[in-house]
Structure 1
Amino acid sequence: MKVLRQWSSFVKRLTHVMAKPMKRDFGRGGMMVHPYRGYGSQREIFVMGRVFRQAALGRAIPRRGMLRDTADVARRIFRRGLSGAAVELTLGGNQLCVSTDRDGYFYVHLPISHPLPIDVSWHVADIRVQAEGQRPVHTQVEIYVPPPEADLVVISDIDDTVMFTGVAEKLKMLYRLFVRKPHRRTAFPGVASLYQALHRGASDKAERPILYVSRGPWAIYEMLEAFFQLNRIPVGPILFLREWGISWRHPWPRRAEAHKRDLIDHMLALFDDLPCILIGDSGQHDPEVYSEVVRDYPGRIKAIYIRRVDQDPAREEAIQNLRNELADTDCQLVLAADSVLIAEHAHAEDYISARGLQAVKRDVYKSYQEAASE
């Protein structure tokens, strides 16, 4: 019975998260816009989102409960991106209008001609969407611009770096996320306190930008948001997922390493006055991709933290060779079995505070204690 209750709870929570984006239209259907958190600098900002055409909710469906969530999930599955919609974004005195592509996505690159306030990091932009035969839609989106105190940018992988995924175990991953106790959810022990320490810096006041990249598609955006909130990991501000764009002519999504490298190049250009830390894992191509970045951007990458996710001697030897190749640079590649080793190096290099280091040690120890007591 306990197992049945747990699985019932899992299904209900997962369904509610998947249905959440559909609640915004109050069941009316029609045109709907879903913007993702934006980011930028005092020179330019970037916002991405998608415009959908979706079905209305039947009058017989209740406003709340599992039946409503199930109906909304069905609406989500069958909704379609709306091409050619006009998307106007306004931030302060800055404004730009773009059109959605054939899949309904829009990309706003807005040069900042009217300065933004420097005493806040999160700005709210207005979005107005119009399309032929549809009622105009108004919404807002949060945009993160690092404050002057920011001295570093952190770019981190998500899959098997922040959270254990096991690509072949997605259902088990979701079960752990929504059912298991916090320390058994998919986050690695100490990850929350480590990323909080990196966000605050050595002064505990830095508010550094932390940018996360995943191999997953934009369709899992809400689930990753829920994961970050449940595990107290800084949202940082943005999740960069992939637009898979699968079709009969292109049956496979774009390679993950190309997606990651393009993101890093973009971030280093955007925050051209800030050094960078890169975080990844040993199971994919992160060490190789990051090492190339170090060579292509001399002096910009201060540290590479690689979480060891397997015990493959050949893989460890390959990473050691990369570390040796970087010996003549000012970037150190650290292969770490847990968050404590990363935090100790970061503290020694003055990237995090002593308080942040102690928080990581405390959380890792507590997590191992709780796991052992089960």
Structure 2
Amino acid sequence: MTPDQALARLRSAPAGRLEPMLAQIDLERTVAAIAGNRITGLFRRAERRQLVELLCVERVAELSPRMRARVVHALRELAPSAVISRGIRSCLLSLTGGPFRDMKYLLNSTGDRHDLEHVVFERLTPADREAVLAHIAAEAADSPVPDLRILCDIDDTVRAMLHETRFPRGSVYPGVVELLIELDEGHASQPSRPGDLTFVTARPEGPRGLIEQYTRNGLSGLGLPPHTVLGGSFLNLFTKQSIQARKLQNFVRERALFPECRFMFIGDSGQADPQVGAEMLRLGGVHGVAVLIHEVVPVEGEARAELEAGGIRFFRDYDEAARVAHDLGLLDAPSRDRVLLAVAADGAPMT
């Protein structure tokens, strides 16, 4: 079937039959074929516009939140353009309430670099981005939820990497996966819903997202809840200040995308995470629940006292982190105990 025939077939779908038809095809390949690549797309502008109009405007009301998320994901694989931006905006603004939140979480758990943050901040024109963020804010004001967004660093927080001396480089800390699972499932209106856990790192995305995908692949086999990754750039790797700035930018974007939720941050003391966490609590106001810092580098004296006075909680191992989370009301006793058992089963010394 040629791209023109595929477009004609989609346009001819009877009312109520478009979604079943889309479900039976490779949507990303079909969209790419009809819209064209960076070269052939120069000659398929009319077809691209017709496709976007069909899926995002004329027939969007027939599509479920899941299918609308698939359409957005397929569109954002294409080269950025005003037409694509308007189509994505139309899809995102076509829903309200619970269905809109469902679509947000689906877009935030695609398993690749094209998550919700990427589409809103990298694929939309400034005007379309402003409209989408305004819609998100309005929906959050109308429907606040108790869900807990968990923001987590990776290096020296999930894996021993840079400053850790007690564990082999690259090893996963005993109990960290279990803690993230319990936090994710214990404070979500829909436990294990995709997209509640976000890893915030200064690691660069790299060309075509290759380094970020490498980071995702390194997390994929750990048994973690569904999650997304917000990365940095090569320019953010040189100083603690630049690392801090990128992580805070990621946080500000996260809050703009999920303003209805509470949040917590888990990081380490090896780079700028204590300062990042303190600023997160300041910016997040009443939505900031906790900042837990894995102490791989000692923080002492006035610096520690000032951070603790600002709400930062330090821990050495993840059994201690589980106890802190329980004290803060983020874990119930059975959840805490499952983390303690996981640490003990791994043979790590209890703290």
Q: TM-score, normalised by structure 1?
A: 0.54
Aligned to 1:338: 317
Q: Alpha-carbon deviation of 1:215? A: 2.1
Of 148, 168, 176, 1:152 maps to 148
The 8 Å contact of residues 146 and 262 in structure 2, kept in 1 or not, is answered as no
Of 208, 213, 221, 2:200 maps to 213
Aligned alpha-carbon RMSD (Å): 4.6
The answer to whether structure 1 residue 347 and structure 2 residue 326 are counterparts is yes
The 8 Å contact of residues 204 and 353 in structure 1, kept in 2 or not, is answered as no
Of 277, 281, 287, 2:264 maps to 277
For residues 134-187 of structure 1, give each alpha carbon's deviation from its aligned partner in whole angstroms, at most 9, with x where no partner exists: xxxxx9977699999752111111111111112799xx85xx5xxxxxxxxx21
- Say if 1:187 and 1:84 are closer, same or farther in 2 by CA, change over 3 A: farther
Which amino acid is 2:223 matched to?
Answer: R
Which amino acid is 1:165 matched to?
Answer: M
Which amino acid is 2:106 matched to?
Answer: H
Aligned to 2:274: 287
The answer to whether structure 1 residue 321 and structure 2 residue 300 are counterparts is no
For 1:277 and 1:240, the matched residues in 2 are separated by 15
For 1:199 and 1:338, the matched residues in 2 are separated by 19
For residues 51-86 of structure 1, give each alpha carbon's deviation from its aligned partner in whole angstroms, at most 9, with x where no partner exists: xxxxxxxxxxxxxxxxxxxxxxxxxxxxxxx79979
The 8 Å contact of residues 150 and 206 in structure 1, kept in 2 or not, is answered as no
Aligned to 2:183: 198
Aligned to 2:20: none
User: SS of the residue aligned with 2:330?
Assistant: coil
Aligned to 1:183: none
Q: Alpha-carbon deviation of 1:188? A: 1.1
The 8 Å contact of residues 150 and 207 in structure 1, kept in 2 or not, is answered as no
Q: Alpha-carbon deviation of 1:124? A: 6.9
For 1:347 and 1:307, the matched residues in 2 are separated by 16
User: SS of the residue aligned with 2:229?
Assistant: strand
Aligned to 1:114: 94
For 1:256 and 1:122, the matched residues in 2 are separated by 27
For 1:227 and 1:140, the matched residues in 2 are separated by 14
For 2:156 and 2:113, the matched residues in 1 are separated by 32
Aligned to 2:160: 164
Map 1:246-285 → 2, pairs under 5 A: 255-285=242-272
Q: Alpha-carbon deviation of 1:224? A: 2.5
For 2:296 and 2:329, the matched residues in 1 are separated by 26
For residues 259-307 of structure 1, give each alpha carbon's deviation from its aligned partner in whole angstroms, at most 9, with x where no partner exists: 1001111112222122211111111111112212322332221111000
Which amino acid is 1:224 matched to?
Answer: T
The 8 Å contact of residues 228 and 234 in structure 1, kept in 2 or not, is answered as no
Which amino acid is 1:357 matched to?
Answer: R
Q: Which moved more, 1:147-156 or 1:157-166?
A: 147-156
- Say if 1:251 and 1:278 are closer, same or farther in 2 by CA, change over 3 A: closer
User: SS of the residue aligned with 1:231?
Assistant: coil
Aligned to 2:231: 241
Q: Alpha-carbon deviation of 1:353? A: 3.0
User: SS of the residue aligned with 2:331?
Assistant: coil
User: SS of the residue aligned with 2:307?
Assistant: helix
Which amino acid is 2:314 matched to?
Answer: L
Aligned to 2:106: 123
For 1:349 and 1:307, the matched residues in 2 are separated by 16
User: SS of the residue aligned with 2:223?
Assistant: coil
Aligned to 2:293: 306
Name the structure with the higher strand share: 1
The 8 Å contact of residues 157 and 268 in structure 2, kept in 1 or not, is answered as yes
For 1:301 and 1:122, the matched residues in 2 are separated by 20
The answer to whether structure 1 residue 232 and structure 2 residue 189 are counterparts is no
- Say if 1:364 and 1:257 are closer, same or farther in 2 by CA, change over 3 A: same
Identical aligned residues as a percent: 21
Q: Which moved more, 1:354-363 or 1:149-158?
A: 149-158
Name the structure with the higher helix share: 2
For 1:349 and 1:168, the matched residues in 2 are separated by 26
Alignment size in residue pairs: 248
Aligned to 2:340: 361
